Structure 1
């Protein structure tokens, strides 16, 4: 289409758009799209409506299953890579400290969270500017490379630096995995974004199994005479996990062959690519698609999603401003960021220091075997897989939805955290850890899915990335808390309990309920 023809169509947009605009206005939040652009960018509103119709018409295909598995297990070695890198650090730091004997043992944790903080912001904003595809694939490859090299670190500073780079590479995947999957999903399958959180449990379980195999058998028991040659367990762990992530990154390119999401393309004004994408998917999977290029182009140009200069601070400002385009979306964005900050403090206080706490309580109960400690740790992570399964089931019920699923998970977590100090034997200790692991992932898995659902497509990665960045900032604070409150005491457990109580109350006042509508 020529520029002259394009301009002609823009001038006639109001007359042609009126029937569709009326139908969009008539659709309430609980029966149509979750967010309305009608007063801000009518062209974007109309085109998003057409794209959502096309996604629903296409339905759920094997392409979606590939996305679920390779955006999950590839992220479960990035939705686990994010969790796996975090857990690799928490699992191995004790042995690394034995070997290097640094003056400040929390340096590695700070390095992880600084890298993850910068990564979340960098990949999140980049994905809204240059697209989901490149950030989605490159971040996984870089994570595998830095993770493998991390296992070869020669000193504490080198180790912390490589942990920081690995965290930076995988830091955006909490942002991109849900964003990518959500922007291809039909409305009746959006609950699958919550189910994706099972991969976190898978990643943690893999980390636990690898630690169970390597740490007891290839590690020094104390800092005395602890050298590289008798302390290879943590290195084997990084080599193996990094290799698994590398395999997943190659599978993303060779098996999935990821296409840029249609909602990102619409926000970029690339109507022809949107139409071609749907026609390609329809042909590949034998599904009918009515959407044509003419349908999209007759509504004019999208004007609200970018600044005039893409590579500029004004472009970043446009994406942040878009998250507060109405009072309701602004309140939603603020509460989502606050919730991520809260769990960013609570989650690492428990999970980063869980190995130490398990070991200390095991010793109190007469269990000092490293083998049993890591067995118990792995059992707790297996239970994490089932939390998102229940969450995905609950969030489909109209009277429960995402908000009350989060409330349920948070309240169960709070109750068992407060009860944890009443444990009197090793069996109870393991059982409580399993229940806590299960319950916290009901909440976290749902929040993970809810966050991108309630953000506008054009600014989704920026908003989601900032949410994860809030999480990382509080993770840094958890290192400060841990410095003054020993992880072998119950203090972090009490703090976690109180924080989960607050998270549950915040979830109730979220202004949007995605169970009743399709994300825009």
Structure 2
């Protein structure tokens, strides 16, 4: 290879079982010194083998169980939205009902930081399996709340659990699917909207029939059991989905995480496990990864930021205690500074944070209060029953499912991810502005449906763009 630019070649053939050149100057220039050359080349080699294995039974099963995380994530985001209006009719210690949403989103912030860091320290698998189960347990617990303070505290814990659902599930899904199918991450978000449909249906059944009206407030517990039935139902479903993940699918650890910890032999075994699952040849060998290490000059491999030395001679697996000790040994704040290692990486990280900040502000302001909007909208004065409110909520939720599905196809058109994200974001804003001035019932529902489609379109594009870049 020349001094100025690395050679880019086609991936090694899984049938030949040979190591091809996987270096890429553009990828190297993007990441700068945020990752070692050894890790980057090994990661690219594993990605090539995943592409050669193709989209098989393992990937489709993963599509389903990863979708569980999206479903449960929206259980909580929409669950608190659904039950909040009727909770206000029961508890007497409520100063500001919106404090419950503040508690939940505070938990989300803490959870995203905790599970994101934990996924890098002890692996993706623990977060993948634990977040759904813990959320389900505390959802059942919140049904026993006897006052608003306990209600908010438990929702903060649920938010902490939910903070790791979608991010961890998305990264795991991308790591195991071939490059040409990574657009499926966009369609995976349809599961998120399915979660909203389930919440709206459950709420329609229980809240419309087992909840007291605001005119009866404050009402006794026995007259307002609907929101408790709703939370117990959602919690039990979440626990069942967690059991399916842990005991039926049996998710392997992320090969890229194993590489980052120097556990090359385990990473090879994971890739070959996927090949066996799909009935394909097992062609990735430990010798291929060793060859990468041997091809890198000592000056490049021995740096302050070097990946832990590969355990080439250790065929066994580390215990969880050993994994935790080994992971925290290398943890420092410098890990976060890697996000800004190099001009391109810094620009990408800064723009990504800014976009997600604006989405984080705008998205909850509409979707987290949609039932409140439905209940107070002037056009519903003739149909102010809870049954009608949740029926419309259900209609909007069902229509929203088509947003991510359509986006999955549209991002592969000539417009691409950037233009589709920009266009859908602008249109979402237009419909939200228009929603404030409409005056008929049919227009109200129509604008909400349009917003549901577009509003669930733009954030998924950003997630896909970020994940695609990170998986290069």
- For residue 87 of structure 1, what is the aligned residue in structure 2? 78
Distance 1:334 1:288 in 2: 42
Q: Does 1:435 align with 2:430?
A: no
Q: Does 1:66 align with 2:61?
A: yes
Distance 1:59 1:183 in 2: 12
- For residue 353 of structure 2, what is the aligned residue in structure 1? 337
Distance 1:51 1:314 in 2: 24
- For residue 44 of structure 2, what is the aligned residue in structure 1? 49
Structure 1 window deviating more from structure 2 (280-289 vs 259-268): it is 280-289
TM-score (norm 1): 0.78
* 1:153 partner SS: coil
Q: Does 1:152 align with 2:144?
A: yes
Return closer, same or farther for 1:39/1:64 CA change in 2, 3 Å cut-off. Answer: closer
2:261, 2:327 within 8 Å by CA — same for their partners in 1?
no
Distance 1:63 1:25 in 2: 28
Q: Does 1:408 align with 2:401?
A: no
Counterpart mapping for 1:78-117 below 5 A: 79-101=70-92, 102-117=94-109
Return closer, same or farther for 1:120/1:26 CA change in 2, 3 Å cut-off. Answer: closer
Distance 1:324 1:228 in 2: 53
Distance 1:116 1:411 in 2: 26
* 1:226 partner SS: coil
List alignment gaps of at least 5 residues for structure 2.
1-5, 10-18, 294-300, 310-324
Distance 1:58 1:153 in 2: 50
- For residue 12 of structure 2, what is the aligned residue in structure 1? none
Q: CA deviation at 1:234?
A: 0.3
Q: CA deviation at 1:106?
A: 2.2
Q: Which residue of 115, 128, 133 maps to 1:136?
A: 128
Distance 1:259 1:228 in 2: 45
Distance 1:169 1:255 in 2: 22
Q: Does 1:425 align with 2:440?
A: yes
| Partner deviation per Cα, 1:18-37 (whole Å, 9 max, x = no partner) | 998995456656xxx99556
Which structure is richer in relative contact order (CA contacts within 8 A, separation 6 or more)?
1
1:57, 1:289 within 8 Å by CA — same for their partners in 2?
no
Return closer, same or farther for 1:351/1:254 CA change in 2, 3 Å cut-off. Answer: same
- For residue 516 of structure 1, what is the aligned residue in structure 2? none
1:70, 1:252 within 8 Å by CA — same for their partners in 2?
yes
- For residue 240 of structure 2, what is the aligned residue in structure 1? 247
Q: CA deviation at 1:38?
A: 8.1
- For residue 182 of structure 1, what is the aligned residue in structure 2? 174
* 1:100 partner SS: coil
Q: Does 1:162 align with 2:154?
A: yes
Structure 1 window deviating more from structure 2 (355-364 vs 322-331): it is 355-364
Distance 1:313 1:400 in 2: 45
Distance 1:106 1:26 in 2: 50
Q: Which residue of 223, 233, 236 maps to 2:226?
A: 233
Distance 1:252 1:95 in 2: 33
1:41, 1:302 within 8 Å by CA — same for their partners in 2?
no
2:428, 2:455 within 8 Å by CA — same for their partners in 1?
yes
Q: Which residue of 323, 331, 344 maps to 2:339?
A: 323
Distance 1:98 1:369 in 2: 15
Return closer, same or farther for 1:157/1:40 CA change in 2, 3 Å cut-off. Answer: closer
| Partner deviation per Cα, 1:160-207 (whole Å, 9 max, x = no partner) | 111111111121112111011011111101101111110111011111
TM-score (norm 2): 0.86
* 1:381 partner SS: helix
Q: CA deviation at 1:281?
A: 2.2
- For residue 285 of structure 1, what is the aligned residue in structure 2? 278
Return closer, same or farther for 1:38/1:348 CA change in 2, 3 Å cut-off. Answer: closer
1:132, 1:260 within 8 Å by CA — same for their partners in 2?
yes
| Partner deviation per Cα, 1:204-244 (whole Å, 9 max, x = no partner) | 11111111111111011125341110000000000000010
CA RMSD, 1 decimal? 2.6
